[in-house]
Amino acid sequence: MVRSLLIRQGLDASQGRPRAAGQEADEWTLPELSYTLAMPHMTLYGWLQKGHLQARREPGSRQWLIWANAGELQRLRVLRQAPRPVKRPSPRESGATEEP
């Protein structure tokens, strides 16, 4: 609870987090980053698939390591708050008929 409050206040509470094997200073695992940004793990995974995140995998590992320093964390927070486009059905999808 205290950690999430510090994160929301913009204070980096992650300095003492345990490191995965081969993990660099500004690299995060998906669960760590989703917790830090208070967002769903699957949203981050979707961003990873779309190329919105810089990530790598250690050889022989299934775990992604995502690069995110303080500036990148802020960019991701802004991206999360950005309005999402609303997909409107085309007239063909909605069942509307064209009038001659």
Q: Indicate the domain borders of the chain.
A: 26-79
* Residue 7 confidence (pLDDT): 53
Q: What is the 3-state secondary structure (H, E, C) of 62-80?
A: CCEEEECCHHHHHHHHHHH
Q: What is the DSSP string of the chain?
A: -HHHHHHHTT--TTTTPPPPTT--TTEEEHHHHHHHHT--HHHHHHHHHHT-SEEEE-TT---EEEE--HHHHHHHHHHHHSPPPPPPPPHHHHT-----
* Residue 13 confidence (pLDDT): 47
Q: Model's pTM, two decimal places?
A: 0.59
- Domain range 26-79, CATH architecture: Orthogonal Bundle (1.10)
| Amino acid present at 32 | E
In order along its 100 residues, the chain shows pLDDT tens digits of 665 655 555 554 455 555 566 667 788 988 999 999 999 989 999 999 999 899 998 788 888 899 999 999 999 999 888 887 777 777 776 565 555 5
- Identify whether the C-beta of residue 8 lies closer than 8 Å to the C-beta of residue 49: no
